[in-house]
Structure 1
Amino acid sequence: MVDEYAPPARRLVRPVTFRGVGVHTGADVACVVNPGEDGVRFHRTDTGGTVTASWRHVAATQLQTVIRSDETSVATVEHFMSAMSALGIWAAEVEIDGPEVPILDGSAAPFLAALADASEPVEGGRAVRVLQPVSVRIGRGFASLLPFPSRRFDVGIDFADAAIGEQRALFDFAAGDYGAEVAPARTFGRLKDIKRLRRRGFGRGASLDNAVAVDGATVVNPEGLRFADEFARHKLLDAVGDLALAEAPILGLYRSHRGGHRLNYALLDKLFARAENFQLLPN
């Protein structure tokens, strides 16, 4: 019998500021992450309005996760939320002066380091225990959550690009080191797609400073990869961030193949659609 994992819980003790460019909008943006009482809430200081980081507010999932409430939206929340979830910080008031969370270096590592330094451990906290298997499929991709005593992620990807190919990343929060094994993995894209994506309003802030670019069998970045399987690790990082929109750590086994933001949102929607699928519990 495996003992059930108790996720860590932390609270912010001082504000943290992040500045940078939005990877899709190209807009310069600053966000100040302040201590909060309950939930992670984004306040748009440029336009007014507030939106809570919750699966209930997911408005778009193409190449990013966008949350929206009424006319207020914030895009590309997944890397920030991945770091928050890994640390166990579930309350913050985030003041942001633009439409998109800054991409920084394309990973969760800068978020993780600064947030860890500005927070301290606390006792207690919520968690969501998976009671029944749930799964979703879209085309050739699938994502599932299965009962499991820990927070485990098993992510498979399959790209035609020779530089990426087929990869699998495994991570268990009970045994692994998120900061060393997951957080540094950067977002990525195809060099040949950039002009088309920019015409559609995506990737306007992307560069080799904040993303891994591939061209067939070649990794364009002069420094190369941080891990041999960095692409799969980044998809795992994204999944941690998307599942953080449950507003609590999920105790269960997450599996996906050819997954992404759309599947992750659909999975949360299906998990919470039936009360018998999950149990809310304190740590």
Structure 2
Amino acid sequence: MNQRTIANQIKARGIGLHTGHESVMTLKPAPENSGIVFRRVDLECPIDFKVTPEIVGETTLCTTIVNPDFQGDTGDGVNAKIATIEHLMSALAGIGIDNLLIELTSDEVPIMDGSSSDFIFLLQSAGIEIQSKPKRFVKIIDTVRVENEKGGWAEFKPFDGYRLNFSIEFDHPAFQQTAESMTLEFSSTAYFKEVSRARTFGFMKDMEMLRARNLGLGASLKNAIGLDDQGVMNDEGLRNKDEFVRHKILDAVGDLYMLGHPIVGEFTAHKSGHALNNQLLRALLANPSAYELVEYSDQSAPINYGSSKVL
């Protein structure tokens, strides 16, 4: 099974969920073995962010990456970071894109509709190019687990394939009417069908606090599920009865793809979020005996990426 990039350049425009900043995002084909690279082109000197777990700098309500060569701001009052990359990263994992250059004219990836479906459409519209170098997988060969003080935990275990198990726990009426756990047997088809349209969600009671911290400035019922004290505020309701946990799996797929390679193993998490997901990756990399980089032929690959056709 070989590496993938996109066949043609493609652009999209939108606002950031947290900053409210408008950004033009340009996706460009990239050479073999170059990985996923974000680039801020709005700065006087463009700054690159090569995707690895170590460049994740902030994890409050989103995954934010920083360039380790720039501490503080760039000298013109602009922080050298990019926020809310997880939905785009999730789409890249869903299609199996290994190499891509993502140029942005702002400090946050556009939120689009709050899911990864618009990113999937962009990537498929650009076309998929199969490259000549073999795709590399991170194969889990020993259990790795992390926990936090709030009862959340996440772990990897060996598994011949890619399985994600996720459970959530929220004290809110809307969550008492929906499934709070889900398992995804990962493939492109399963990803597109089961999780790609699941939107991010937020609580109205938290909005004042979030905006005081310059978060949620671009949020609306057009790009997120809003929850008041009684339930879902969106006129159209939920896309799936269990859309909340589906979105948490969507997030996890994107966060875990910060490894830069698909995973062969089983991921299980309870009350996890961006912080724990990243801690799990760092714990894995800190234990070289727990994983290995492997390659597969098309016939032996444990993950099916299919033809990546538009659904």
Determine helix, strand or coil for the equivalent of 2:109.
coil
Unaligned ranges ≥5, structure 1: 1-5
> Alignment partner for residue 36 of structure 2, among 16, 40, 62?
40
**Aligned AA (1:86):** G
Q: Where does residue 252 of structure 1 map in the other structure?
A: 265
Kindly report which structure 2 residues correspond to 1:105-124, keeping only aligned pairs within 5 A, or say none.
105-120=113-128, 122=130, 124=134
Aligned with 2:173 (options 151, 162, 170)? 162
- Other-structure match for 1:54: 52
Structure 2 partner of 1:209: 222
SS at match of 2:84: coil
Question: Is the Cα–Cα contact under 8 Å of residues 10 and 119 in structure 1 kept in the other structure?
Answer: no
Q: Cα distance, 1:10 vs. partner?
A: 2.9
Between 1:175-184 and 1:194-203, the stretch displaced more is: 175-184
Opposite residue 173 of structure 2, the aligned amino acid is: A
C-alpha contact 1:9 1:87 (8 A) present in aligned 2: no
For 1:8-27, what aligned pairs fall within 5 Å after superposition?
A: 9-27=3-21
How does the TM-score come out when normalised to structure 2?
0.86
1:229-248 mapped onto 2 (5 Å cutoff): 229-248=242-261
- In 1: Cα distance, 2:187 partner to 2:6 partner: 22
After TM superposition, give the deviation of residue 118 of structure 1 in Å: 1.6
Q: Give 2:140's match in structure 1, choosing from 106, 110, 130.
A: 130
Cα contact 1:54–1:67 (8 A) shared by 2: no
Q: Is the 8 A contact 1:87 1:112 kept in 2?
A: yes
1:96–1:175 distance in 2 versus 1, CA, 3 Å: closer
1:225 corresponds to which letter in structure 2? L
Which among 173, 179, 187 is matched to residue 186 of structure 2?
A: 173
Query: Counterpart of 1:193?
Result: 206
Question: SS of the residue aligned with 2:49?
Answer: strand
The count of aligned residue pairs is 277
Code of the aligned partner of 1:77: I
More strand by share: 1
Q: Which runs of 5+ in 2 are unaligned?
A: 71-79, 297-311
8 A contact 1:147–1:253 mirrored in 2 = yes
Gap change, CA 1:148 and 1:121, over 3 Å in 2: farther
Q: How many angstroms apart in 2 are the aligned matches of 1:259 and 1:265? A: 10
**Structure 1 residue 195 displacement after superposition:** 1.4
Paired AA for residue 23 in structure 1: L
What stretches of structure 1 move > 6 A for 4+ residues in a row?
A: none
Aligned with 2:293 (options 275, 280, 283):
280
* Aligned-CA RMSD value: 1.5
For residue 184 of structure 1, what is the aligned residue in structure 2? Answer: 197
Return the offset for 1:247. Answer: 0.3
Task: Give the C-alpha shift of residue 117 in structure 1.
Answer: 2.6
Equivalents in 2 of 1:116, 1:85: separation in Å?
Answer: 13
> Could you say if the C-alpha distance between residues 147 and 164 of structure 1 is closer, same or farther in structure 2, counting changes exceeding 3 Å?
same
Is contact 2:138-2:292 (8 Å) kept? Answer: yes
Q: TM-score, normalised by structure 1?
A: 0.94
